[in-house]
Amino acid sequence: MTFLTKTGLAAALLVGSVSAASAFTACQVTDTGGIDDAGFNQTAWKGVQDSIEEYGIEGRFLESQAEADYEANLNSLLGSCDVIVTVGFLMGDATAAAAAANPDQKYSIVDFAYDPTIPNVVGQVYATDQAAFLAGYLAAGMTETGVLGTFGGINIPPVTIFMDGFVHGANHYNSVHGTEVSVLGWNPESKEGLFTGNFDSLDDGRAFAQNLYDEGADIVLPVAGPVGLGSASLANELGTDELKIIGVDADQTQTDPDRAHVYLTSVLKRMDATVQAVIKAAMDDTFEGGLIVGTLENGGVGLAPFGAFEDAVPAELKAEIEEIRAAIIDGSLTIGG
């Protein structure tokens, strides 16, 4: 697997293990969702764990309980970490400030791109609308009610890019099949929709999914980290004939195994691979500030297997999804176009 990059970091995914790397330490500062959020913090940490296993390095993490913790956590890692990985769009300002104050420290941030780039920071961003487009097309082909739903944690680009793709994918299904499947919870044009205002309340995840279900939605995409686990809990109680969930970031049949049967699929954001790429570049002294972009083409984003619904998804729909994937990759299909 390789990644598009302005800095040569793509090669990091193709290089084997190195020796005498035990003194190297990679550190991660989480957003408020926590290291075991079954989503983006946990997936990014897997990149550190994979590096520990493959390269023999050391790894540490600090969890942020609130946004006020970002600066203190970053400062506390100075002097003990060869590269510091911060996770989440909301850490953009704190990471930029730390990088400016400590130009010799290597940083990378998940879900943020600086313009202009910062010499000692690598941004990791993802074309998740591509994978979410596939999920929206799938959901439109699987709905029994003709109504889908989505909601986010906070109205920020790394969240709404999932919602954009999901709505556009459902709309594309309508244009192909002459159907009228609707998506509640997000308008890609007005940029208005449903948001819990947080990434940690399972109660909110349950309540928002309940409201969408009450309005007719039988498949819901929560883009809110651990909040989505509350939606999965509701689907587990109602039964999947009534409500199915589409996960985000990681394959949630793996990160939420007790409720694996409620997930139709998950929109994958391969933060583990990009984090590992950054660590390898820092180890090899090829680290430069810039940008990594994960896409369908390079495997940085994707659609998880259908899990318990593998046999329920029609072969024709699976084939259409693969055709759409290829069309997005070769540029013949433009999302939102």
Give the CATH number for residue 186.
3.40.50.2300
Classify residue 335: in a domain, yes or no.
Answer: no
Query: Which residues, other chains included, contact 323 with Cβ-Cβ below 8 Å and sequence gap of 6+?
Result: none
Distance CA 230, CA 195 (A): 14
Q: Is residue 261 part of a domain?
A: yes
β-partners of residue 285 are none
pLDDT for res 306: 98
d(CA 172, CA 14) in angstroms, rounded, equals: 36
Secondary structure (3-state) at 263 = strand
Spatial neighbors of 203 by CB under 8 A, at least 6 apart, are 230
- My answer on whether 95 and 234 are in the same domain is no
Task: Verify that 134 and 259 share a domain, yes or no.
Answer: yes
Residues 200 and 136 in one domain: yes
Contact 187, 193 (CB under 8 A): yes
Question: Span 54-73, mean pLDDT?
Answer: 96
Kindly state whether residues 16 and 106 are assigned to the same domain: yes
Do 197 and 315 reside in the same domain of the chain? yes
Percent pLDDT > 70 in the chain is 93
Pair (306, 181) in one structural domain: yes
Alpha carbon distance 2, 5 (integer Å): 9
What phi, psi does 189 have (nearest 5°)? Answer: -80, -50
Please answer whether residues 242 and 269 qualify as being in contact, where contact means their C-beta atoms are separated by less than 8 angstroms: no
Say if strands 263-269 and 244-249 run parallel, antiparallel, or are unpaired. parallel
Q: With respect to residue 122, please indicate whether it lies within any of the assigned structural domains.
A: yes
Q: Is residue 82 part of a domain?
A: yes
Q: In the structure encoding, which two tokens stand for residue 154, read together?
A: 């906070």
Domain membership flag for residue 216: yes
172 and 27 in one domain? no
Q: What is the pLDDT of residues 142-178, one digit of tens each?
A: 999 999 999 999 999 999 999 999 999 999 999 999 9
Number of structural domains the chain divides into: 2
Domain assignment present for 96: yes
**Which residue range forms the structural domain that includes residue 46?**
4-127+270-294
Query: Do residue 146 and residue 113 come from a single domain?
Result: no
Q: What is the mean pLDDT of residues 307-324?
A: 98
Whether residue 141 lies inside any domain: the answer is: yes
Is residue 337, in this structure, part of any structural domain at all? Answer: no
Question: In the prediction, which pLDDT does 5 show?
Answer: 40
Q: Same structural domain for residues 208 and 277? A: no
144 and 263: one domain? yes
Please tell me the pTM assigned to this model. Answer: 0.85
Q: Is the dihedral of CA 12, 15, 16, 18 positive or negative?
A: negative
- Domain check: are 96 and 227 in the same one? no
Say if residue 85 is in the same domain as residue 196: no
> Pairing between strand 121-126 and 290-294?
parallel
The least confident of 5-19, 97-111, 184-198, 269-283 is 5-19
